[in-house]
Amino acid sequence: MTRLPIVPSLLLLAAAGCARPQVLVEVLPPRTSVTCAAPDASASAFGRGLFDVGASADFHGSYLADLRVTVAGVDVRVDGFEVAYDLPEGSSVGAADYEGASQNGDIVLTGDDDEVRMGVVENVELVPRALAAELAADSGLAIDKITYRTLGVTLTPLIDTEQADPASSTFALDLCEGCLVEPPDACTELGTYASNPVVCRVGQDVPLFMCAAGGA
C-alpha cells in the first residue's frame, strides 16, 4: 500500500498559518445623498467609475473617492496610498509624472484579537486635475460624449507595521468628455433639463443635469 507524502502537506499547512494579514483597500460608491455624506463602511464596494475629463475646464476636475480599508487581527496605521496608472491604449500622456504617494486621509485601525478592523478614508484624490486635463487634450484617445476609454488606477496602502502586508487593488474608470457635465442631447433639443440635486462631486459618476418635465 502506497503511503501519502505527509511532510509536504504539513509544511503547506504551516506556511498557510504563518501568512501575514493583508491590508485591503476598496473604493466605495459615489456620494448621492442630499447631505453628500460619505458612504458607511459597510457599503458595497464600487467596482467601476465614470469620470468626465471635460469637467476640468470649468470645475475642480479631479476624481475623488472614499476608500474602505480593512485588515484582520492586527492594529495598523495607514499613512496614505501609493497611486499608479494604467493608461488607455494610444495615449501619449506621461502617467509617471502623476504617480506616487497620496498622503491625504491617514487612518488608524485598531481592534481586539482576531476581529476585522475597518475604516473609511474620505476624499482621496485618485486622478489629479492636471492628469484629467491632459487626458482630455490627448488626440490619440479622441474621448467625447460617446467614445469612452478606460483608465486603471492602482492603489496600495502605505502602512506602518511589519505584521501585515499591503494589498494593491485596481479600480477602473471609464473616461468621457461632456457625458456628465453637459445637458443630455435629447433634453437640450426640447429645452427641458434641470440641475441634478444629488450631484456631490461634479464630473464623477452622476450626471450634472437631468431631463425635466415641460418644454419650451
pLDDT of residue 193: 83
pLDDT digits (tens, 9 = 90+) for 28-87: 999 998 899 999 999 999 999 999 998 876 676 899 999 999 999 999 999 999 999 999
Q: Where are the domains of the chain?
A: 22-178
Tell me the C-alpha distance between 192 and 216, whole Å: 7
User: What is the reported pLDDT for 68?
Assistant: 97
- The pLDDT value given to residue 183: 84
Per-residue pLDDT at 190 = 66
For position 18, what pLDDT does the model report? 62
Which pLDDT belongs to residue 109? 94
Residue 166 C-alpha cell reads as: 499591503
Q: Check residues 62 and 10 and name the one with the higher pLDDT.
A: 62
- CA 113, distance to chain mean position in Å, is 30
What is the pLDDT, as a whole number, of residue 214? Answer: 54
Q: How far apart are CA 55 and CA 63, in angstroms?
A: 10
With the C-alpha atoms ordered 180, 63, 168, 87, is the resulting torsion angle positive or negative? Answer: positive
Residue 149 CB-density burial (10 A; 0-12 exposed, 13-18 middle, 19+ buried): buried
Under the banding of pLDDT at 50, 70 and 90, the label for residue 103 is low
Please check the confidence at residue 13 and state whether its pLDDT lies above 50: no
Give the model confidence (pLDDT) of 123-172 as tens digits: 999 999 999 999 999 989 999 999 999 999 999 999 998 899 999 999 99
CB-based contact 168:156 (threshold 8 Å): yes
* Confidence band, pLDDT 50/70/90 cuts, at residue 102: confident
User: For residue 110, how many other CB atoms are within 10 A of its CB?
Assistant: 10
Q: What is the pLDDT of residue 5?
A: 42
